[in-house]
Structure 1
Amino acid sequence: MTLPACIHCGQDPERRERDGRVMFICPVCNARGDAATCETWAAASWRQVNRDDLPVHGCGHRPRFKAREGKWWACCTGCQHLTGGFMSIQGAVAGWARSLR
């Protein structure tokens, strides 16, 4: 399975597994997709947060997606513009785009 490189540092992701859940994570900057019981879903979430067409913030930086207390957040890596509280990584990606309109 070929996955895109990290949009933050250009490193290829590594596959990690724990407690029956799989995730893809950048070994350099720790950007990550969703942890899932299905490897295909985990790979799809990595692709979602590393899309070339993901909008950048006004300061020119891309978002990093993080899960905290069961909610997903998107934060600009430049100015720390934050949007979040979403139930899924897909919601956080959509919320990020919506916050930049």
Structure 2
Amino acid sequence: MGFRTGYLDVMHAGRVVGRSSYGLSQRLHLALDILLAYSDKPLRLTVKLGLVLSGGAFLFVPVTLIRFWVGQISQPGYTSLIISIWFFLGLLLSVLGMVGLYT
């Protein structure tokens, strides 16, 4: 935020009586809120994952085509379907992450 930061050492005491009222699901929900509310890192990871999937689809094209030409893939339409699903899933993930970063 542009302000100078300072640090203060604090000694926290243990709970003397009773137990926490937060259950496991409430703690997991709180952790997810903290991860998503104060950082854009999950969105950046989504963009990177999408680009990796799309790049993997391009690398997967020759392997799948060779398997088709050799005769290991006998289902008609399998090759084009798998390649297009991988490519467009990666593209969709990266665009979704970019939209999330700009909103």
TM-score (norm 2): 0.23
Which of the pair has more CA radius of gyration?
2
Q: Which has the higher relative contact order, 1 or 2, with Cα contacts under 8 A spaced 6 or more apart?
A: 2
Which structure is higher in strand share? 1
- Larger helix percent: 2
